[in-house]
């Protein structure tokens, strides 16, 4: 091997395969630089619009190696499968690709031109993947472009080419119009109008991806639909989908047409990709009738510029949609947080009943099971749901609450699933529903038994994992939400009467947690009272030391029909109004409402009064009501204003089973 760096190791040459001029053999001489580019002054002039004016150089370096150097070209230079970013050493057999031009580097005796011609099996210089279905287009493709340089050198080109100035003016008008677009369809129609005007096309179509296909790795024609078309009845099946497929596959705009026959000018077809985030996701198709107006690369670049404008609008509207949804979600979450501000979610007490609930919560929290919480109003069902959420792996997600009894059927559907702008009177903005807000978190639905049958059906589908749509919308949404439902109703009776779906009942009742009323856990009353005293003392700034023994006794003997909610309100009132640092019985102002059906008169014989406990009076009154109804417990419970299950528990406590 010769180590003299001034002498080449062997003869070297490059074989240039240019689709415009055929194969061309060029020897390489150490000390001389072989320049490549579109400019006439280059050693090898490249007849491809993707080549820069001064694209690359091949020279012999100080280490005795032939190297190629890309001159910061617009579309880059590849050697083999790799795009070079700096000086690259060439070895025998390396293939250099610049646009559609292939350059083979060889050392040793050069082949004859006939051999080189035979090695050019393609002869088209077309790059990218193409299906066999579009082979017929190879002979008719006139120009190909990867990107538009129309506006990059507009000052220079507008002086020499009036058509370029007209195109720039049209693109400027298009940009102002698209900047005000609020819908993809209107933007597509306006862009198609400009593309057809600038290319003198007689028909055309803008194709964009369906929502389901937008995230596909590679888009095909089957993933697209016509957003805008001229004429309006033009269908995707009516256009040359193979040409559109080629534009998508190669990420290049194509201008093609049949050869001229006699004096008849050729008809021209253009297919150009629409890019979003640098990826071809759609296309514009244009077709012009035969005319004397010969098409040029400028027509192709104009259409590419229009496609880029559509892609930018698509990106902006997609970002606006995402931002709008996030803002709606943030506003709703912020409102929920404010509503819950100051509320304490810790369960307080040491009764066996509360210990049982705590154990159940710990067991069910780590699962995805739907939970049904039963209990009287005010017993603390929401606290149980919050405890389940806080103990689960969803605790970093949202905890969203909704009372199903507080809304009409229409409003409940909107609250659950959200609505689009204009879906109904008063829907001035798009709103995310509770399911969307609770995504990756927990949704607590109180008074689930008040949900109408229509909403029950849609609610059940979401529970089963199906996607749903906002009211007035068509976009299908799918969320990951754990549902905890609560009720103070006897759902079994509602199922039997047809007011509640049987399948939904079993779907909700995967795990059931019963929250006993406060009167069933008297040992927790004092702890809860002290807890609320601490809370409200801090909020009001009052210095309350506690309760008198008489107040503690009164609270433990009281039946608390309003449960924990009533106790909380009672303590808050006492803290605010008490004139002493010790809360006494009068400060509690316990309710003296008579039981339903009680006349309020004291039974007496003559002037003699016989005191009786409230429990005795209650039992006598209930038994008298049951006798009056002929033993019908359901009717008796309705007259008494209590649930049938409550009546059954009282009889069980009294030792009566019928």
Indicate if the pLDDT at residue 145 is higher than 70.
no
Alpha helices in 225-296 (DSSP H): 241-250
Residue 331 confidence (pLDDT) above 70: yes
Q: What is the per-residue pLDDT across 184-201, written as a single tens digit (0 to 9) for each?
A: 888 888 888 888 887 888
State the DSSP code for 260.
P
How far is C-alpha 323 from the geometric centre of its chain's CA atoms?
11
Residue 185: its pLDDT value, please?
Answer: 82
* CA–CA gap between residue 426 and residue 197 (Å, rounded): 42
- The predicted-structure confidence for 443-490, as pLDDT tens digits, reads as follows 999 999 989 888 999 999 999 888 899 998 888 999 999 999 999 988
- Whole-angstrom Cα distance, residue 643 to residue 658? 16
The phi, psi pair for 93, rounded to 5°, reads 95, -5
* Paired tokens of 157: 């080109």
The pLDDT mean for the chain works out to: 80
For 448, the token pair is 């689930």
Q: Which of 504, 500, 454, 514 is nearest to 483 (CA)?
A: 504
* pLDDT tens for each residue of 407-433: 888 889 999 999 998 888 888 888 899
The residue among 46, 71, 47, 49 whose CA lies nearest residue 58 is 71
Q: What is the pLDDT confidence band of residue 151, given thresholds at 50, 70 and 90?
A: very low
Query: Which pLDDT does position 168 carry in this prediction?
Result: 60
Determine the straight-line distance between the first and last CA of the chain, rounded to whole angstroms: 113
**Average pLDDT, integer, range 114-129:** 42
**Tens of pLDDT along 571-595?**
999 999 988 899 999 999 887 653 3
Query: Which range (55-64, 217-226, 444-453) has the least confidence?
Result: 217-226
Instruction: Find the helix packing angle between 352-365 and 381-391, rounded to 10°.
Output: 40
pTM over 0.75: no
pLDDT band at 293 (very low <50, low <70, confident <90, very high): low
* Closest-CA residue to 85 (of 73, 93, 94, 96): 73
Peptide bond into 231 cis (omega under 30): yes
pLDDT at position 547 is: 93
Q: Residue 511 in contact with residue 369, Cβ under 8 Å?
A: yes
Mean pLDDT (whole number) for 631-656: 83
Find the mean pLDDT for residues 79-99.
Answer: 89
pLDDT score of 57 more than 80 = yes
**For the range 363-368, what are the long-range contacts, defined as Cβ-Cβ under 8 Å and sequence gap of 24 or more?**
364/388, 364/511, 364/513, 365/389, 365/391, 365/392, 366/391, 366/392, 366/393, 367/511, 368/482
Q: SS3 helix, strand, coil % of the chain, rounded to 5?
A: 40, 20, 40
């Amino acid at each position: 091997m010769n180590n003299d760096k001034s002498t080449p190791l062997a003869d070297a040459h490059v074989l240039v395969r240019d689709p415009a001029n055929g194969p061309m053999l060029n020897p390489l001489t150490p000390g001389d630089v072989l320049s490549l580019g579109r400019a006439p002054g280059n050693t090898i002039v490249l007849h491809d619009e993707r080549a820069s004016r001064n694209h690359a150089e091949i020279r012999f370096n100080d280490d005795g190696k032939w190297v190629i150097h890309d001159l910061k070209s617009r579309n880059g230079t590849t050697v083999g499968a790799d795009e070079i970013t700096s000086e690259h050493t060439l070895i025998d057999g390396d293939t250099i690709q610049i646009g559609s031009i292939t350059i083979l580097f060889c050392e040793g005796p050069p082949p004859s031109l006939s051999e080189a011609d035979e090695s050019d099996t393609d002869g088209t210089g077309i790059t990218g993947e193409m299906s066999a279905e579009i082979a017929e287009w190879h002979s008719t493709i006139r120009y190909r472009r990867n990107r538009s340089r129309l506006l990059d050198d507009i000052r220079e080109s507008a002086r020499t080419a009036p058509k370029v100035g007209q195109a720039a003016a049209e693109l400027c008008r298009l940009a102002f119009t698209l900047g005000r677009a609020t819908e993809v369809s209107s933007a597509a129609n306006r862009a198609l109008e400009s593309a057809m005007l600038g290319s003198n096309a007689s028909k055309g179509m803008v194709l964009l991806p369906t929502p389901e296909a937008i995230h596909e790795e590679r888009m095909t024609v089957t993933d697209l639909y016509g957003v805008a078309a001229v004429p309006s009845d033009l269908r995707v099946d009516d256009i040359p989908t193979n040409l559109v497929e080629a534009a998508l596959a190669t990420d290049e705009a194509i201008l093609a047409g049949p050869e001229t026959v006699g004096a008849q000018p050729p008809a021209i077809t253009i297919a150009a990709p629409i890019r979003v985030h640098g990826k071809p996701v759609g296309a514009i198709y244009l077709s012009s009738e035969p005319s004397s107006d010969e098409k040029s690369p400028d027509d192709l670049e104009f259409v590419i510029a229009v496609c880029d404008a559509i892609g930018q609008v698509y990106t902006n509207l997609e970002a606006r949609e995402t931002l709008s949804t996030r803002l709606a979600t943030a506003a709703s979450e912020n409102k929920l947080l404010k509503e819950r501000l100051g509320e304490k979610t810790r369960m307080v007490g040491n009764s066996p009943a509360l210990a049982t609930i705590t154990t159940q919560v710990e067991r069910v929290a780590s699962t995805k099971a739907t939970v049904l919480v039963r209990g009287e109003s005010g017993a603390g069902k929401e606290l149980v749901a919050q405890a389940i959420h806080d103990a689960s792996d969803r605790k970093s997600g949202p905890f969203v609450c909704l009372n199903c009894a507080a809304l009409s059927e229409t409003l409940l559907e909107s609250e659950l699933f959200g609505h689009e702008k204009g879906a109904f009177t008063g829907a001035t903005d798009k709103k995310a529903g509770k399911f969307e807000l609770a995504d990756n978190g927990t949704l607590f639905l109180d008074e689930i038994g008040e949900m109408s049958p229509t909403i029950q059906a849609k609610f059940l589908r979401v529970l089963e994992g199906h996607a749903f749509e906002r009211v007035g919308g068509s976009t299908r949404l799918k969320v990951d939400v754990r549902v905890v439902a609560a009720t103070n109703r006897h759902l079994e009776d509602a199922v039997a009467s047809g007011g509640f779906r049987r399948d939904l009942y079993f779907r909700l009742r995967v795990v059931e947690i019963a929250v006993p009323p406060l009167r069933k856990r008297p040992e927790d009353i004092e702890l809860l009272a002290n807890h609320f005293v601490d809370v409200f003392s801090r909020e009001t700034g009052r210095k309350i030391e506690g309760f008198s023994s008489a107040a503690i006794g009164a609270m433990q003997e009281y039946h608390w029909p309003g449960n924990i909610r009533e106790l909380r309100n009672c303590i808050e009132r006492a803290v605010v109004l008490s004139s002493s640092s010790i809360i006494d019985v009068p400060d509690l102002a316990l309710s003296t409402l008579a039981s339903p059906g009680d006349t309020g008169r004291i039974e007496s014989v003559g002037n003699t009064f016989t005191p009786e406990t409230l429990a005795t009076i209650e039992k006598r009154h209930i038994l008298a009501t049951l006798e009056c109804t002929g033993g019908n417990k359901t009717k008796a419970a309705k007259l008494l204003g209590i649930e049938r299950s409550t009546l059954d528990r009282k009889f069980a406590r009294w030792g009566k089973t019928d």
